[in-house]
A and B are shown apart, each in its own frame.
Chain A
């Protein structure tokens, strides 16, 4: 096969691969490029992350918490749509100090931070619209 055909074929394959990857990862917190949109935080990284981003949405979860899994793809989708806001996730079992410091008594809990301060929180598995509305409000403050 001539070399120029190989190059053309490579381009098509790469484009198809990129298109497929972009479609194939809904609800994973990853963009098609593999970029991580939701940052995993723990007791040692939480404070510095909150203070280094103007607006942050944090999803507190635990592996045994079934409703936590309902909202995790929603958080992933919101993170992909609202790039001015930082999105993070905290395993409350592995980060008890942070969960306790912010009085996270039920899971899932989604907290909203602006300039390092908590400005809102949503407890329980709620529909996407409820979280979307809060995220839009947070974005409007930026």
Chain B
């Protein structure tokens, strides 16, 4: 039986606030045409905690990055290919990058997109882009342009998708608690913010069709 081409793409620190300011056409189109929501996360404001919560479907708080990833139920259930997931440093999966400003956004995004497109041919993919929180540049819209075109390529190749950010951009203290959620499937309680553990659940349902 053919496996569903399902994509979970997390773009850490992605925010709706720049979609219109940066004229991110593909992201705006998705906002207009797919099931949308706002992730809310006030307590799991570091990459590893946020991603562990998504991939274990329960709140998991850790300090910094893990040396070794634990059992991740969403990955075991969906048998998804992992790409650049920032639970460990360097990131988990292949390709894998170090979580520091030395990695160029185009290198990261290009490699993640190529790997995801290849992996989608054989099944579900869980991928992350971390550039928005690693790299500080004055022209944020140039980063959004790169992400916008990457999202287009990936969404066109997937049968089902969830694009999300586990939190917004860096704020005066911590991160903006509100992030992005765009998906090909509806979710319950659409007049409530999306909790991180829900994302893993929706993805598992997408893939297993349970």
Contacts and interface: CB of A to CB of B under 8 A. Distances in A.
Interface of A: 23, 26-27, 62-67, 69-74, 125, 127-128
Given A69-B15, A72-B17, 14 more contacts: A27-B21, A62-B191, A63-B40, A64-B191, A66-B37, A66-B181, A69-B16, A69-B38, A69-B178, A70-B16, A73-B17, A73-B18, A125-B20, A127-B20
Question: Majority SS of interface residues in chain A?
Answer: helix
A70 B40 CA distance: 16
A65 B38 contact: yes
A64 B31 contact: no
B100 interface: no
Question: Majority SS of interface residues in chain B?
Answer: mixed
A72 B37 CA distance: 16
Contacts of B19: 70
The CB with the most chain B CB atoms within 10 A, among A64, A65, A70, is that of A64
B38 A128 contact: no
A123 to B, nearest CB: 15
Given A69-B15, A73-B18, A23 B38 contact: no
Nearest to A126: B20
A70 B192 contact: no
Interface in B17-68: 17-21, 31, 36-38, 40
A74 B178 contact: no
Contacts of A128: 20
A70 B193 contact: no
The CB with the most chain A CB atoms within 10 A, among B19, B20, B178, is that of B20
20 contacts: A27-B17, A63-B40, A64-B38, A64-B190, A64-B193, A65-B38, A66-B36, A66-B38, A67-B16, A69-B15, A69-B17, A70-B19, A70-B31, A71-B20, A72-B17, A73-B17, A73-B21, A74-B21, A127-B20, A128-B20
Contacts of B20: 70-71, 73-74, 125, 127-128
B19 to A, nearest CB: 6
A53 B41 CA distance: 35
Interface in B163-210: 178, 180-181, 190-193
B138 interface: yes
Contacts of A65: 38
